[in-house]
Amino acid sequence: MFKVLKIQSRAAMKNLIKLLLTISLLSVGSAHAFFFIIPTGKIADLITGAEGDNCVSNAAKVGDKIILAGGKVGEIKSLSGTSTRCKVETLPIRALIEPVEIPQVQTELVIILPEGYQESTLNDANRFNGLASSALQKDTESGIQRSSFPKHTVTDINDFAVKRKSFFLVNLIDGKESPISSTKINGIPALQFEVYGAFKNGTDAKYLVTIFDGQDEAAMVTMWTRIASYDDKKAEFANVLKTTSGLVPAANTAIVIEGSLEDRKKKCSQMGLQEKTKKFNDCLSMLAK
């Protein structure tokens, strides 16, 4: 009577297949013939332990989260080295990725939307990128978004602004940019810049990005419209920023507000003038006018 063997684990199945292959090779040898059995597909995976249907870069690590198709986000559970399944040169590593849910982004920043803007539904990819809310005014092709990044993830607010600007520019064809300026809005130190350009689908946009240096978060307001409409929309965008509330300013901000005493000292020092000298004081007085 034959006994039914129950394979209790992947490892047991892997060992069983190895045993069967060994028996097969021995049988071939006894017949004075030589054949090479090259396992493929699921059988090969059971032997090697490789798993997953996704391909990632060499820099990927177990635990990394990446954006998947359809606005989903996945977490890398295992990496199986280079694979012939991975056809894209920059994504040579086979990986097992499982979908994860990204919680709603919390922010203390409050804004009042102008008339005509409708809130949009966010997906996991939006939340993964720090998006707390998004509203569109379809007839003018304009939008207003709030984003938030925990302060412990922002080591330098000025460097953070540079990186965020690069994030916008990389998605634009022949993108243009303004310098990053510093200001204070409703008592909160902030950095601002503009970027604009075209997209591959033939449309274009111009963005006004404001990054607030809060005590517990770096909050960002992104407003945009078509390039041709931007000048007409600029007053509306400025009024939205005037409605901001809820944030506590960072106790020790690294933002140097333009026109402040610290800003004037910095500029005079950059001219090669030494503090507490007559020329340095004259420079401060001149910049204050």
Written as tens digits, the pLDDT of the chain (289 aa) is 444 444 455 555 556 555 555 555 555 444 454 444 445 455 555 545 567 888 999 999 999 999 988 899 999 999 988 888 888 999 999 999 999 999 999 999 999 999 999 999 999 999 999 999 999 999 999 999 999 999 999 999 999 999 999 999 998 999 999 999 999 999 999 999 999 999 999 999 999 999 999 999 999 999 999 999 999 999 999 999 999 999 999 998 989 887 778 788 888 888 888 888 988 888 888 888 7
Task: Give 260's DSSP letter.
Answer: S
Q: What are 160's two structure tokens? A: 């953070």
Q: Is residue 257 part of a domain?
A: no
176 & 220 share domain = yes
pLDDT the model gives residue 280: 85
234 & 133 share domain = yes
Number of compact structural domains in the chain = 3
Whether the Cβ atoms of residue 81 and residue 94 lie closer than 8 Å to each other? yes
Q: Is residue 165 part of a domain?
A: yes
195 & 125 share domain = yes
89 & 155 share domain = no
Judge if pTM exceeds 0.85: no
Q: What are 26's two structure tokens? A: 């021995």
132 & 59 share domain = no
224: containing domain: 118-242
pLDDT the model gives residue 70: 87
One-letter identity of residue 168: F
Q: Is residue 23 part of a domain?
A: yes
203 & 123 share domain = yes
167 & 235 share domain = yes
Whether the Cβ atoms of residue 56 and residue 80 lie closer than 8 Å to each other? no
196 & 235 share domain = yes
pLDDT the model gives residue 37: 46
Whether the Cβ atoms of residue 111 and residue 69 lie closer than 8 Å to each other? no
Q: Could you give the CA distance from residue 69 to residue 61 in angstroms, rounded to a whole number?
A: 20
Q: Could you give the CA distance from residue 19 to residue 27 in angstroms, rounded to a whole number?
A: 12
Q: Is residue 105 part of a domain?
A: no
pLDDT the model gives residue 15: 61
**Look-up of token digits 């965020």:** 164
Q: Is residue 256 part of a domain?
A: no
- Does residue 12 sit in helix, strand or coil? helix
pLDDT the model gives residue 17: 54
90 & 129 share domain = no
Q: Is residue 147 part of a domain?
A: yes
Distance (Å) of CA 194 to CA 108, 159, 163, 180: 24, 16, 13, 8
Q: Is residue 275 part of a domain?
A: no
What CATH code is carried by the domain that includes residue 195? 3.40.1000.10
Q: Is residue 178 part of a domain?
A: yes
pLDDT the model gives residue 2: 43
One-letter identity of residue 269: S
